[in-house]
């Protein structure tokens, strides 16, 4: 029986990592990485929202328990931060968990078909999608308020050579970034560096990186603070949906 109602559950193993994945919906695949509090009910609600709009959503459980409260997730945050799979301080270094996540992209693409898959990282996992751009099947990555590495406004949790490889891809892979304007955990300098580092493929009109900045001071653009984004006049979920459809369905 699945720990998340309405989703199937299975174990996924790759590169000496094993973790549960929860799946729902039909259509092309989208991998949704939960943020620091863990796989909360707010994340599940967003997954259901995507599944209702025609995508097969896959949620890996990277730490914590399914449906744990935001408060419990934040209390356990220091223990999460010291795990060797996650890089929180050193800029220019990918977290090792991104290796099995790339393998998960390949698995979901093989099973769901289509031109490729999408992947959405949020907060603590927001930068994981940068290293996942090494995987050819990933065409629609989304970095929502990427917060790592801590205390380095221009820092990225990805090796420079990996970022250069992503920029040199010959296909139309495109990264969408989301952040609140006054979010100290995801400074504007981080997005400026991504914009300067990621160049469109030769002859392509598709930007390799484009971003949406929401007015105001909040953090979780797609889950906890989504209502705040709407009040600020920006529908961040709609922006993600348009990005996924354009990249995976080739339609607006």
**pLDDT tens digits, the chain, 252 residues: what are they?**
899 999 999 999 999 999 999 999 999 999 999 998 889 999 999 999 999 999 999 999 998 889 988 766 665 665 565 466 776 666 788 989 999 999 999 999 999 999 999 999 999 899 999 999 999 999 999 999 999 888 889 999 999 999 999 999 999 999 999 999 999 999 999 999 999 999 998 888 889 999 999 999 999 999 999 999 999 999 999 999 999 999 999 744
What pLDDT is stored for residue 49 in this prediction? 98
Domains of the chain: 8-249 (3.40.50.1820)
Helix (H) or strand (E) holding 142: strand 138-144
Instruction: Give the pLDDT of residue 192.
Output: 97
Give the number of residues written for the chain.
Answer: 252
pLDDT reported for residue 185: 93
pTM of the model: 0.94
Site of tokens 């989208």: 30
Rounded to 5 degrees, φ, ψ at 234 are -125, 120
Residue with the two structure tokens 């992503």: 166
Do residues 49 and 132 make contact, with C-beta atoms less than 8 angstroms apart? Answer: no
What pLDDT, on the 0 to 100 scale, is given for residue 77? 60
Q: Which of 122, 143, 149 is nearest to 208 (CA)?
A: 143
CA neighbor of 195 nearest in space, from 243, 237, 163: 163
Going by their DSSP bridges, the two strands 29-32 and 8-14 should be labelled as unpaired
pLDDT value for 252: 44
The CB density around residue 196, as the number of other CB atoms within 10 Å, is 9
The helix or strand, by DSSP H or E, that contains position 103, with its residue range, turns out to be: helix 98-112
Q: In the 8-state DSSP scheme, what is residue 124?
A: G
What does the angle CA 151 – CA 224 – CA 50 come to, to the nearest 5 degrees?
A: 110
Contact indicator for 9, 2 with CB cutoff of 8 Å: yes
């Amino acid at each position: 029986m699945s720990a998340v109602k309405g989703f199937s559950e299975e174990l996924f193993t790759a590169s000496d990592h094993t973790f549960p994945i929860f799946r729902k919906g039909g259509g092309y695949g989208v991998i949704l990485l939960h943020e620091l509090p863990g796989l909360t009910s707010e994340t599940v609600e967003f997954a259901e929202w995507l599944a209702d709009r025609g995508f097969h959503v896959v949620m890996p459980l990277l730490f914590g328990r399914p449906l744990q409260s935001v408060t419990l997730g934040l209390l356990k945050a220091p223990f999460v931060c010291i795990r060797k799979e996650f890089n929180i301080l050193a800029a220019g270094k990918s977290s090792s968990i991104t290796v099995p996540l790339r393998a998960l992209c390949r698995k979901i693409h093989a099973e769901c078909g289509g031109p490729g898959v999408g992947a959405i990282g949020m907060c603590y996992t927001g930068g994981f999608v940068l290293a996942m751009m090494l995987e050819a099947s990933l065409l629609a990555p989304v970095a929502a308020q990427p917060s790592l590495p801590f205390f380095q406004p221009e820092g990225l949790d990805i090796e420079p050579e990996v970022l250069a490889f992503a920029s040199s891809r010959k296909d139309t892979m495109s990264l969408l970034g989301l952040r609140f304007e006054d979010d100290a955990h995801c400074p504007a300098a981080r997005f400026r560096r991504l914009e300067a580092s990621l160049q469109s493929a030769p002859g392509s009109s598709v930007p390799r990186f484009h971003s949406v900045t929401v007015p105001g001071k909040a953090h979780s653009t797609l889950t906890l603070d989504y209502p705040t984004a709407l009040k600020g006049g920006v529908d961040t979920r709609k922006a993600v949906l348009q990005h996924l459809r354009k990249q995976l369905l080739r339609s607006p």
